[in-house]
Amino acid sequence: MQELPNPMFPLSQLGARPAFWRAPPSTRLPAPVPAAPAAVEAPRAAGQGITVSWARHQDDVRAAQRLRHEVFAGEMGARLTTTLEGHDIDLFDDFCEHLLVREEETNQVIGTYRVLTPAQARRIGSTYSDTEFDLTRLRDLRERMVELGRSCVHRDHRQGGVILALWGALAGFMHRNRLDTMIGCASIPMQHNGVNGGDAAASIWRQLSTTHMAPIQYQVQPRLALPVERLNGDLVVEPPALIKGYLRLGAKVLGAPAWDPDFNTADLPMLMRIDDLPPRYRKHFLGN
């Protein structure tokens, strides 16, 4: 296959100023500080020897960032620009809520998500997804839309219980705060299921574009598109487990994948709405 294109700009720097979602001109933004989510709950048991909680202190956030670095850099080979060795840190972290799953016996963080709320997205001026996609068509959803990102689970705990615990806590957070829409970039590694060079991503995109596309009014465009037309999209390849999980929850694909050269992944823009949760998952996560 041909070489993937070089990015025309450093993706990690986009969003460094409020360009996509501007605050009112008269608003002076204060220095960002981690904010506690509304209706913070104490750590709660989730079964299988794990607990779920929201980060309350910088030490909690650092533990999540260490896990992210271990998974993204150590396992996936991502090229991370970080201000603290051994930690995955970017400019969105201080504006996000961080959800943690810990192993009860060791207190080690074994799973994490970060959540960017509408209020915090207004403060920073964009979401991370805005740096990879033109989200203009989602403008009417933003007031009740959160962005999920940096999802990862420790390699020794990927049997399903951790991600279900994370999803349950996220569903409760959305319900308590009267939010109804979640977006995010779901990554497909360039080397996935033994297939190299992006062919797996092109094939997964071709499959999902015929079965799980969002309505046209919500479809978006990548800023640095994966050149799917130059890749083999005819392979039978299973999507990563996280993407399959999102689809079971009723998520939709918003458009063609972007290429993230730092993480060496193809990122699919995805949208999930609480109202689209299948009844069995709605009952499991929300009790109704």
CATH number at residue 62: 3.40.630.30
Helix (H, G, I), strand (E, B) or coil at 71: helix
Burial track 9-19 (b if 16+ CB lie within 10 A, e otherwise)? eebbebbeebe
In a domain, residue 12? The reply is: no
In a domain, residue 14? The reply is: no
Is the separation of the CB atoms in 61 and 34 below 8 Å? yes
Work out how many domains the chain is built from and give that number.
1
CA proximity to 237, closest of 191, 203, 188: 203
Helix (H, G, I), strand (E, B) or coil at 288: coil
Phi-psi region at 102: left, alpha or beta (left = phi > 0; alpha = psi -120 to 50):
beta
Q: What is the reported pLDDT for 47?
A: 61
CA proximity to 174, closest of 43, 31, 26, 273: 273
Quick one: which H or E segment has residue 38? none
In a domain, residue 165? The reply is: yes
Helix 279-286 with 161-176: angle, nearest 10 deg: 80
In a domain, residue 10? The reply is: no
Residue 27: both structure tokens together: 């608003």
Q: What is the reported pLDDT for 31?
A: 40
Q: What is the reported pLDDT for 197?
A: 80
Indicate the pTM of the whole model: 0.84
In a domain, residue 49? The reply is: yes
Q: Residue length, the chain?
A: 288
Query: pLDDT 10s digit of each residue in the chain, 288 long?
Result: 334 433 333 333 333 334 444 444 433 334 444 444 443 454 555 667 999 999 999 999 999 999 999 999 998 888 888 889 999 999 999 999 999 999 999 999 999 999 999 999 999 999 999 999 999 999 999 999 999 999 999 999 987 789 999 999 999 999 999 999 999 999 999 888 888 789 999 999 999 999 999 999 999 999 999 999 999 999 999 999 999 999 999 999 999 999 999 888 999 999 999 999 999 988 888 887
In a domain, residue 259? The reply is: yes
Q: What is the reported pLDDT for 46?
A: 61
Helix 161-176 with 241-248: angle, nearest 10 deg: 40
In a domain, residue 18? The reply is: no
Helix (H, G, I), strand (E, B) or coil at 256: coil
Domain, as residue range, for 250: 34-286
Helix (H, G, I), strand (E, B) or coil at 232: coil
Is the separation of the CB atoms in 218 and 142 below 8 Å? no
